[in-house]
Amino acid sequence: MDSLKMFIDNQWVKGSSGETIQTKNPANMEVLAEFPRGSTEDIDKAVQAASEAFKSVEWREILPAERSRILLRIAGLIRENKDELAKLETLDMGKPLTQAYADVEVAARYFEYFGGAADKILGETIPINSEMLDYTVREPFGVTAHIVPWNYPLQMTARSVAPALAAGNTVVVKPAEDTSITTLKIAELIEQTDLPAGVFNVVTGYGHEAGDALSQHPDIDHITFTGSVPTGSAVMKNAAKHIKSLTLELGGKSPNIVFADADLEEAANWVVKTIIQNSGQTCTAGSRLLVEKSIKDKFLERVTEIMNEVTIGPGINDKQMGPVVSEKQMENLKKYMEVADEEGTEIIRGGKAREDMTSGLFFEPTLVIPKSKDSRLAQEELFGPVVAAFEFETIEEALELANSTEYGLVTGIWTSNINKALWLSQRVRSGQVFVNNYGAGGGVEMPFGGQGKSGFGREKGLESLKHYTQVKNVAIKISK
C-alpha cells in the first residue's frame, strides 16, 4: 500500500488533520493506497497558493506560446508514462486495461489540443465610429476549482484543467475520494515541467468536506463540476453565495433511437458497447433504447445475444467489462432491481450481481422493458450496465420518448434515411447528437455538455475556452 500526499504550491504535503482515506481495487477489494483526508484548512492553503500564483509576474506575464509549450510537455509526459497510468487507472477504478489506455491517450490529447490553442485565444474589434477604437480581449477568471468524478478520473482532470491553464487561470483540483491516484500522478508529472509553483494544486478528500469547502470558497473565481444532480445543485448554491461562474455536467439518460431501416447489426453492437463501457458508469451511457415496433423483438433478441457474449473480469485481465467502482454503487444497482420488481419491469437479461467473481462488485449486462416511460428505471440515472427498452411506431413518437426525461446529454440516431436523422437532430433535447455512431462524450475537439438537468456550459473543443475566460471591452476615443 502506498501512502500518498496532496500537492499544494509544488510541495507534497500531508493533510492538516492527519487523517487519511483508503482506496481499494474494486476487482478484489485490496487496499491500493491511502491519501490525506483534506479539510477546509487544506483547501484554504491550496486556494491561497493558486491566488498568489495567478497574481505573480511569473504566471501573468508568461507568453501564451510558453503556456502552450508547457501543456505540450505535459501531454508528452503522459504518453511517456502511459503504462503506469493505465495500470493505476485500472486498479483504482476497475475498468478494463484497454479502456484505461484509451483514457490515457485522451488525457494526453486534452493537453495537446489546448496547448495548441493557448496562443490563439483572440478578441475582436467592433466598429463604432471613426472617432472610436473598440475591441474586446478574453482574460482568465483567476483561480478555477475542478471537482472531478470517480468514473474517469484521469480524463476528467485533463478535460477541465487543460483549457483552464491554456487560458491563463490557476487551478485547484479535488479528485473523487474513490479514485484519486491518477490525478496525483498527473501532479507528479506536472512537477517535472516549468509550470510555476502554485498554478496547479490537488487536494484529496471527501466531497462533503473538501469538495464543499472548495465550491464555497470566496477566492475561487470559477467552478467546474461533474457529478450527480443533487450534488450539482449544492455546488450551485455554494457558488451563488459569492456569485461565481459555473460549468456543470450532471449526467444523463441518453437514448439510442433505432429505426427499421438502420444497419441493425451495427446498431445492436453499439447499443451494447454504450452500456457496458466502464460498466455503465458513464454520464453518456446509452441507458435507454427506443426501437421501431416492426423490428423490436428481433432487435432485442440480437442485443441479448451480444450481451450474453460479453466477457467480464478484473480490469487488469482486460475483459470487456470490469466491476463497478464500490460497494455503494453495487448496493445502488441492487436497489434499482428491487424497484424494477416493484414496478413490474420485465427483465429480459441480467439484473443481478455475478457471484462467481473475485469480488462482489461485478454486475451483469442487463436489458429491461419498463411498464411505462415514466417508471423510475426509465427516468433515473442508474449508473450501471442497465438499458431500458421501449418501442415506437412513428418518428413523432420516437421524439416524444427521447425527450421524456429531465436530462438532455447525448442522443444516438440509427437510420439510413438522412431526412429522419436531420428532423430528429433538430428537435431532440440533447447537447450532442450522433447519427449512425455513438461517441461516449465524443472526441476532444467536439463541444460537450447538456441541456435540462444534464447541466450547462460546454467542455471540450474551442468552445470550452469561452467558459474559462471572461470578456473585457475596451473603448478608446481617437483625437486629432
Locate cell 455536467: which residue?
249
Sheet containing strand 132-140, strands side by side: 125-129, 132-140, 469-477
C-alpha cell of residue 244? 461565481
Write the single-letter amino acid at 303.
V
- Annotated catalytic residue: which of 89, 112, 177, 249? 249
How many other CB atoms are there within 10 angstroms of residue 330's CB atom?
20
Q: Could you please report the per-residue DSSP string of 347-405?
A: EEE--SB-SSSSSS--B--EEEE-S-TTSHHHHS---SSEEEEEEESSHHHHHHHHT-S
Q: Which residues contact 91 (CB under 8 A, 6 or more apart)?
A: 25, 27, 32, 181, 315, 316
What is the rounded CA–CA span in Å between residue 101 and residue 90? 9
Given a contact cutoff of 8 angstroms between Cβ atoms, the answer to whether 351 and 340 are in contact is yes
What is the rounded CA–CA span in Å between residue 227 and residue 214? 15
Q: Could you please report the per-residue DSSP string of 31-85?
A: EEEEEE---HHHHHHHHHHHHHHHHSHHHHTS-HHHHHHHHHHHHHHHHHTHHHH
Within its chain, how far is the Cα of 39 from the centroid? 24
Q: How many helices (H) and strands (E) does the chain have?
A: 15, 21
What is the rounded CA–CA span in Å between residue 115 and residue 123? 18
Active-site residue flag, 249: yes
Q: Closest by alpha carbon to 210, among 150, 156, 154, 147?
A: 147
What is the rounded CA–CA span in Å between residue 382 and residue 329? 9
Radius of gyration over alpha carbons of the chain, in Å?
23
133: helix, coil or strand?
A: strand
Given a contact cutoff of 8 angstroms between Cβ atoms, the answer to whether 219 and 51 are in contact is yes
Given a contact cutoff of 8 angstroms between Cβ atoms, the answer to whether 454 and 252 are in contact is yes
Active-site residue flag, 283: yes
446: helix, coil or strand?
A: coil
Q: Which residues contact 417 (CB under 8 A, 6 or more apart)?
A: 259, 261
131: helix, coil or strand?
A: coil
- Annotated catalytic residue: which of 89, 112, 283, 381? 283
As a 3-state breakdown, the chain gives helix, strand, coil percent values, each rounded to 5, of 40, 20, 35
Q: Which residues are catalytic?
A: 249, 283
